[in-house]
Structure 1
């Protein structure tokens, strides 16, 4: 099994917040890619590498970044022999390829023909998440059909449905449809879906099909990984694994909340995510 960490974003909202912050407490974070932000005792992305390095099922980790942050990620990766960093060639937010195209780039560049864990580089989870349990459930699904895919979900509040992709799931925990930022009245579900997926090797060729279909459409229709997931649901079985919640580092407020949790509330750092 391989892992791809999507880290090619430019963090424009966060950088804007840091520039506007009058306390000047966060000046040292100017120009730092979100996955490399210090969270607790290490960089955000290092929490994932610690867990993945303990997992016998993941042999290689590919980190897709951009030309602007490429050198910083190369320097970070020196501490992790299993990591290979891929530059998507873009230098600003307007040039960005989009998350799905970055995933496709990694799959094609490294000739990946294996099941792939896809991780949003600005996302962490609460302590009930276990990489071991997640991959064990995937293996169970794969014994039934090699086309099975597995994604995470957590319950959001009524007023939050309009912020996320919401999954509608049947009694077998199979996803029936995904609604993008629906009003609470437009769906009975409150199952939000973060960027953390386990795609089967048989699903990977569909990245090319999806992007070919969308090549003339605006970037917004092929940028977010949830767009591919929504398209995939009608073509491959997708199941959910439930967790209690996540940290999504999008702006300065969400970053400080995440960092505070890891410094003050994390109960078992040694086993976190494992």
Structure 2
């Protein structure tokens, strides 16, 4: 199995917050990509690498970033010889390729034909999440149907449904549909879906199909990986792995919350995520 960490975003909201902050506490973070922000005892993305190195079935890890932050990631990756960093060639948010196109670029560059774990580079989960447990459920599904895919899901609050893609599932926890930012009245589900997916190798060719279908569409309709997931649900079996919650580092407030959680609650626990 391969792992791809999506880290080509520009963190525009966070940068705006950092530049407008007058406390002086976060000046050192200006110019850093979100996955390299210090969270607890190490950069956010390093929590994932440490966990992935403990999973025997993951034999290669690829990080895709942009040209603006490529040198930052290359310098960081020197401590992880097994990690390969890919540059998408863009220099600003207006040039961005979108997460799905970046994923497809990594698949082509590294000739990935295996099952694949896809991770959003600005996302972490609470301590109940187990990467090995996530993998075990995926492999169990694969023994029954090798086209099965598995995604994470957590219960969001009523007022948060309009912020996320919301999954509706059947009695077997198979996803029936994904509603994009619905109002609470538009769905009975509260199952939000963060960017952490296990895709079967049979799903990989569909990324190119999706991008070809959407090539003339606005980037907003093909950018986020959830757009591909919504499209995939109609074509391949997708199931959920339930977790209690996540940290999505999108702005300064969410970064402060995430960092405080790791410092105060996990206290540098190096078994986190495993």
Aligned to 1:46: 46
**What secondary structure sits across from 2:266 in the alignment?**
coil
What's the offset of the Cα at 1:268?
A: 7.1
The aligned residue for residue 92 of structure 1 is 92
Which structure 1 segments of 5+ residues have no match? Answer: none
Which residue is equivalent to 1:127? 127
Q: Report if aligned partners of 2:40, 2:267 keep a CA contact under 8 Å in 1.
A: no
Kindly state the Cα deviation for residue 82 of structure 1 after the two structures are TM-superposed. 1.3
Partners of 2:24 and 2:164 lie apart in 1 by 31
1:73 is matched with which residue? 73
C-alpha separation in 1, matches of 2:235 and 2:112? 21
Q: Check whether the contact 2:41–2:268 (CA below 8 A) recurs between aligned residues.
A: no
Aligned counterparts of 1:267 and 1:9: Cα–Cα separation in 2: 28
- In structure 1, C-alpha distance between the alignment counterparts of 2:139 and 2:267, rounded to whole Å: 29
Instruction: State the 4+ residue runs in structure 1 displaced beyond 4 angstroms.
Output: none
User: In the TM superposition, what is the alpha-carbon distance from 1:266 to its structure 2 partner?
Assistant: 1.1
1:34 aligns with 2:41: no
Q: Do the aligned partners of residues 62 and 37 (structure 1) sit closer, same or farther apart at CA in structure 2, a change above 3 Å counting?
A: same
- 1:270 deviates by 2.4
Cα shift readout 1:4-53 (whole Å, capped 9, x = no counterpart):
00000000000000000011110000000000000001000000000000
Paired residue total: 274
Does residue 217 in structure 1 map to residue 217 in structure 2? yes
Secondary structure of 1:168's aligned partner:
strand
TM-score when normalising by structure 1: 0.99
> Structure 1 residue 271: deviation in Å?
1.5
How many Å separate the matches in 1 of 2:267 and 2:196?
A: 23
Map Cα deviations across residues 44-90 of structure 1 (whole Å, 9 max, x no partner).
00000000001101000000000000000000001112100000000
Residue in 2 that maps onto 1:248: 248
Match of 1:161 in 2: 161
Question: What's the counterpart of residue 3 of structure 1?
Answer: 3
Root-mean-square deviation over aligned CA pairs? 0.7
Q: Distance in 2 between matches of 1:270 and 1:208?
A: 37
**Does the Cα contact within 8 Å between 2:104 and 2:208 map onto a contact in 1?**
yes
